[in-house]
């Protein structure tokens, strides 16, 4: 489509949207090209499957690219796949994942409504922390995912995710309750679900973060 015609279509749809009409393919992605988001994500996943940019490709069974609604308003970003995720090729399917599903359900969200991804797409052996060179090599995939999905809120699960997205290096307990930003997108820091399994005392704070997430989401996407 020529650029001028495309702009006319975008302007027309914007006017219609203001008048209350809803369009399947028109929202914050602000461009008719948003129709291709799913295809572009698939292409990125395909590239990721071939990735050999760090040593983790040698020990992975599967890459764990990410899963969910590719037009999600909320994106959840964890650390790295564990044993079960590496087996399944899907994020958060082990114990921490089950807890995460319950946490979402508690604020009336489903995994299908959000998009879930990790910083690293391959499992670090023995679930050790990601190494800086692995994060550096892998972050391009996450950056591109965020750009394509264009969420309005990111729930940063744990300190690694928060550090990569915002540069914040301090303790999670000191920053949670605040909104930070990644490329203009709101970032809500919260505890990683795996940490909550061992630290029951963090559950109260986690619940507050979830309720805050729900409030922000409802403001953007009022319940009809
Ligand atoms: N922990 C993470 O950070 N991500 C997963 O996918 C699973 C566990």
* pLDDT grade for 33, boundaries at 50, 70 and 90: low
Across the range 29-58, mean pLDDT stands at: 87
Is the pLDDT at 32 greater than 90, yes or no? no
Share of the chain above pLDDT 90, in %: 82
pTM assigned to the model: 0.86
Is the pLDDT at 23 greater than 70, yes or no? no
* pLDDT grade for 8, boundaries at 50, 70 and 90: confident
Answer yes or no: are the C-beta atoms of 146 and 187 closer than 8 Å.
Answer: no
Secondary structure, 3-state, 76-105: EEECCCCHHHHHHCCCCCCHHHHHHHHHHH
Is the pLDDT at 41 greater than 90, yes or no? yes
Minimal CA–CA distance to 176: which of 159, 160, 164?
A: 159
Answer yes or no: are the C-beta atoms of 66 and 91 closer than 8 Å.
Answer: yes
Q: Which of 60, 84, 85 to mutate to test the pocket of ligand 1 (most atoms within 8 A of CB)?
A: 85
Strands (E), the chain: 67-68, 74-78, 115-118, 153-157, 180-182, 185-190
Q: Pick 18 or 155 by higher pLDDT.
A: 155
Give me the domains of the chain, ranges plus CATH numbers. 51-220 (3.40.470.10)
Answer yes or no: are the C-beta atoms of 193 and 92 closer than 8 Å.
Answer: yes
Q: Pick 8 or 97 by higher pLDDT.
A: 97
**Parallel/antiparallel/unpaired status of strands 153-157 and 180-182:** unpaired
CB of residue 86 inside a 6 A radius of ligand 1: no
Burial 84-105 (b: 16+ CB within 10 A, else e): bbbebbbbbbbebbebbbebbe
Minimal CA–CA distance to 100: which of 120, 84, 77?
A: 77
CB of residue 161 inside a 6 A radius of ligand 1: no
Residue 160: other Cβ atoms inside 10 A: 20
- Return the sign of the alpha-carbon dihedral for residues 79, 158, 42, 148: negative
Residue 193 alpha carbon, nearest atom of ligand 1: 1
State in Å: Cα 35 to ligand 1 middle: 29
In this prediction, residue 34 carries a pLDDT of 56
CB of residue 156 inside a 6 A radius of ligand 1: no
CB of residue 92 inside a 6 A radius of ligand 1: yes
Per-chain mean pLDDT for the chain: 91
């Amino acid at each position: 489509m020529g650029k001028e015609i495309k702009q006319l279509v975008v302007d027309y749809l914007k006017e219609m949207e203001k008048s209350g009409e809803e369009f399947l393919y028109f929202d914050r992605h602000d461009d008719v090209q948003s129709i291709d988001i799913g295809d572009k994500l698939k292409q990125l996943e395909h590239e990721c499957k071939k990735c050999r940019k760090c040593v983790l490709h040698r020990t992975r069974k599967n890459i764990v690219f990410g899963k969910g609604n590719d037009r999600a308003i909320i994106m959840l970003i964890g650390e790295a796949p564990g044993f079960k995720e590496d087996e399944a090729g899907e994020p958060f399917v082990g114990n921490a994942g089950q807890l995460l599903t319950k946490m979402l359900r508690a604020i009336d969200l489903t995994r299908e409504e959000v998009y879930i991804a990790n910083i690293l797409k391959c499992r670090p052996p023995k679930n050790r922390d990601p190494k800086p060179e692995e994060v550096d090599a892998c972050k391009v995939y996450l950056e591109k995912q965020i750009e394509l999905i264009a969420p309005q809120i990111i729930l940063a699960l744990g300190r690694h995710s928060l550090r990569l997205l915002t540069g914040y290096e301090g303790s999670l307990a000191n920053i949670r309750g605040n909104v930070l930003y990644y490329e203009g997108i709101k970032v809500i820091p919260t505890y990683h679900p795996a940490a909550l399994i061992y630290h029951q005392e963090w559950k109260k704070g986690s619940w507050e973060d979830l309720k805050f997430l729900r409030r922000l989401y409802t403001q953007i996407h009022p319940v009809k």
